Amino acid sequence: MPISSPLRSTDVLADLGPLEQLRAGRLGRRLPQLLVGLWLYGTAMAMFVRSGLGLDPWDVFHAGLQHLLGWSFGTVVIVVGFLVLLLWIPLRQWPGLGTIANAVVIGLATDATLSLLPAATSWPVAWVLLVGGLVVNGLAGALYIGSQLGPGPRDGLMTGIARRTGWSLRLVRTGLELSVLAIGWLLGGAVGIGTVVYALAIGPLVQFFLPFVAVRLDPPADGH
């Protein structure tokens, strides 16, 4: 049943390991929600690309690698996702089903949408793509986070580093995103007003949508 009123994300998200995520039940809703969220996330990424107004930091990095390697944007997203997962090993983190799906589905959805969606040819169309992409991205992020089947590779890297070092999540996220933004920009990735708008808007959007779509999970049994 959908959540009918806004709640804090901490009220509905559980701290579960990979096996616990699968054993927590309600997979008949959680798995489709995960896949829909990931597909919409890739769709939103393609909308940002076609807007021509700038990308979020990780996608600036992806776009820079695309210029360097000549691969499709989605292929770069998939390869980087799996390379980031290798960095989980020294952090002693285990990916969930949602983590693996994240590494694959978003890239496929991005390439599929890019093949259908033309680039913006005017400022009004560019802003429609940017703002629409932000809303879709915020909903998509809430859907896949709310399925509670594991973080994406990049988010898991952030939380893993924070846990192992004791640094704050804000510090780790800022450091990672500034690093990939700088590298991507040097490689030719698109930085613009959309990069700033994304940074300011995406957090509040995900926080707004999450309580409405997060799947409540039953607390584990005591086992006594």
Neighbours of 205 (CB within 10 A): 19
C-beta separation of 190 from 120 below 8 A: no
Q: Using CA atoms of 64, 150, 129, 56 in order, give the dihedral in degrees to the nearest 10.
A: -40
Q: Is the dihedral of CA 66, 64, 54, 198 positive or negative?
A: positive
Note the pLDDT of residue 118.
97
Q: How far is CA 96 from the centre of its chain?
A: 14
| C-alpha closest to that of 21 among 146, 131, 115, 164 | 146
Three-state DSSP class for residue 106: helix
Note the pLDDT of residue 224.
43
Kindly report the pTM of this predicted structure.
0.88
| C-alpha closest to that of 103 among 119, 124, 79 | 79
The parts of the chain modelled with pLDDT lower than 70 are 1-12, 218-224
Return the domain boundaries, the chain.
40-213
